[in-house]
Amino acid sequence: MAEVDIRLTLNGEERSASVEPRLLLSDFIRHHMRLTGTHVGCEHGVCGACTVIVDGEPQRSCLMFAVQADGASVETIEGVAPNGELGPVQQAFHEAHGMQCGFCTPGFVMSLTALLRNSPDADDDELLDSLSGNLCRCTGYVNIIEAARLARERMNGAA
Amino acid sequence: MKPAPFAYHAPDQLDEVLALLGDQDHEVRLLAGGQSLVPMMNFRLAAPEVLVDLRRVESLRQLRHSGDGTLAIGAGVRQSALLREPVVTDGWPLLSEGARHIGHPQVRSRGTVCGSLAHHDPTAELPALAVALDARMVLASASGTRERSADEFFVSYYTVALEPGEMLLEVRFPRCPAAAGWSFKEVARRRGDFALVGVAALVEAGDDGTVSRARLVFCGVAERPFRALDAEQAVVSGASFEEAGRLVSEAVRPMGSIHASAEYRRECAGELAARALSEAWERATGG
Ligand SMILES: Cc1cc2nc3c(=O)[nH]c(=O)nc-3n(C[C@H](O)[C@H](O)[C@H](O)COP(=O)(O)OP(=O)(O)OC[C@H]3O[C@@H](n4cnc5c(N)ncnc54)[C@H](O)[C@@H]3O)c2cc1C
Ligand code: FES
Ligand code: FES
């Protein structure tokens, strides 16, 4: 199939590329842009490992074609730690031990980053609603919830 | 897995969308939020030859609240946009409470209201809500538009009354009776999962303090939204909400699956009916 030209903002930088329409945004990010922090677990929208922020909203990059990101602003886990310094949600996961193997972590961080930027005073119900969209096979979630609350406390203070 | 190749169009005018959709020689599909279609394509359960993306058609992203009290939701309106709209929370609380049960924020941020209605998963919340709230469906093709009631629109599993070349242009919800009490309840294995069973209830109180009107519509118990007419009638004739629940359990014939047996779903339907009716009643009577 004919390739399509796209232009998007990826972690604040203008990027352009020529892609096949069937290329998933997740594969574009990982294989074409070489940003492998976005993980792919299920490719059908269930696990949340591939979550990125598109135009300010958390979305599944495995359920979007790269062509649909034409004109959009996409932020990946690499974008929340631009100078190698952990972002507030990452720092909270580190301190609260919100991870074990780490496979699910980028997805959780992107979901929570989007939530807390849009609503810094999100209540526990909103936190859990957001966390419900990401699966973790290791931790049992207790420390992830802990990390989410810690991140809220800090980001709320900053706002 | 990866999707099969397809040709991609993202026109910015509705008539271009309808012209592309009218192509009889290829398998053409609309791409709205992609939250049901893309998983099916990734699994190769669907392999359309042409995708027509609605994302650039500005006119479809409108959510209008008109003078006669109707809420019109265009084919481009995302579920998250619906939930953010105060007009909806105030005027159609049943609709927003039900829509809050759809998947996760990361899914609702792309998935559209009309996409869910057109896809018609039998456990989806929105089709049941559309039937409960007497929604009107506006269907459009290159040759014009027509209207159907929600009740006529949903045919069977993943099947709706759309002809080839036709799309759901918008869904219109009439004004909710201000005095109606409402409730939405569902049982799912995990938060955000598709419901095993869900129910939308509306109740109105008459001047004599009894139930004058009741509406009970379920998802997950049949091949399309199921309206429990017997239970509605019984409640208006003075039956208790528990009795209505028992009537529901007897009336529904859900299918069992690996997620839950038919019997469990039947029990859930009855229990949810009783709880939803009493919550709706409390709201109707300010109790
Ligand atoms: C993890 C996960 C959990 C989910 N949980 C739930 C849940 O609990 N409850 C629930 O109801 N849904 C759930 N969904 C599905 C979600 O609500 C979808 O958004 C919805 O079913 C389809 O809407 P869409 O805009 O994404 O449509 P798409 O995926 O783009 O399209 C779906 C189908 O409808 C057709 N279509 C789309 N728009 C139109 C239109 N305007 N006219 C005619 N045809 C059209 C498409 O061609 C396609 O065949 C879940 C999805 C995921 C990935
Ligand atoms: S890889 Fe996208 S949700 Fe699992
Ligand atoms: S830490 Fe291993 S999957 Fe979450």
pLDDT score for B192: 87
- Between CA B112 and CA B83 the distance in angstroms is 11
Contacts of B106 (CB under 8 A, 6+ apart): A48, A51, A58, A59, A60, A111, A130, A133, A134
Distance A62 CA to ligand 2 centre (A): 6
Q: Does position A159 have pLDDT exceeding 60, yes or no?
A: no
- Chain A neighbors of B39, CB-CB under 8 A: 43-45, 63
Neighbours of B259 (CB within 10 A): 14
Q: Does position A98 have pLDDT exceeding 80, yes or no?
A: yes
pLDDT score for B178: 76
In this complex, is the C-beta atom of A132 within 8 Å of any C-beta atom belonging to chain B?
Answer: yes
What dihedral angle (degrees, nearest 10) is formed by the CA atoms of B195, B225, B99, A62?
60
Q: What is the CATH number of domain B181-285?
A: 3.30.390.50
Is A47 a pocket residue for ligand 2 (Cβ < 6 Å)? yes
Contacts of A77 (CB under 8 A, 6+ apart): A37, A38, A106, A109, A110
**Long-range contact list for B262-267, CB < 8 A, 24+ apart?**
B264/B196, B265/B196, B265/B197, B265/B220, B265/B221, B266/B221
Classify B60-173 by CATH class: alpha beta
B-proximal residues of A, 92-111, CB under 8 Å: 111
> For residue range A130-141, what is the model confidence (pLDDT) as tens digits?
999 999 999 999
Q: What is the CATH number of domain B7-52?
A: 3.30.43
Kindly state the tokens that stand for B279: 């919550």
Which pTM does this prediction carry? 0.97
In chain A, domain spans: 4-80, 88-155
- Chain B neighbors of A8, CB-CB under 8 A: none
- Between CA B195 and CA B104 the distance in angstroms is 13
Q: pLDDT-based confidence at A82, cuts 50/70/90? A: confident
Query: Position of tokens 């049941």?
Result: B128
Q: Does position A111 have pLDDT exceeding 70, yes or no?
A: yes
pLDDT digits (tens), chain B, 287 positions:
899 999 999 999 999 999 999 999 999 999 999 999 999 999 999 999 999 999 999 999 999 998 889 999 999 999 999 999 999 999 999 999 999 999 999 999 999 999 999 999 999 999 999 999 999 999 999 999 999 999 999 999 999 999 999 999 999 999 887 789 999 999 999 888 899 999 999 999 998 989 999 999 999 999 999 999 999 999 999 999 999 999 999 999 999 988 999 999 999 999 999 999 999 999 999 86
Contacts of A46 (CB under 8 A, 6+ apart): A135
Contacts of A27 (CB under 8 A, 6+ apart): A40, A66, B2
Q: Does position A158 have pLDDT exceeding 80, yes or no?
A: no
In chain B, domain spans: 7-52, 60-173, 181-285
Q: What is the CATH number of domain A4-80?
A: 3.10.20.30
Instruction: Write down the ipTM of this complex.
Output: 0.95
- Do A4-80 and A88-155 show the same overall fold? no
Q: With an 8 Å Cβ cutoff, are B5 and A22 in contact?
A: yes
In this complex, is the C-beta atom of A56 within 8 Å of any C-beta atom belonging to chain B?
Answer: no
Return the CATH fold of A88-155.
Answer: DNA polymerase; domain 1 (1.10.150)
Question: Mind telling me how many Å the CA of B226 is from chain A's nearest CA?
Answer: 27
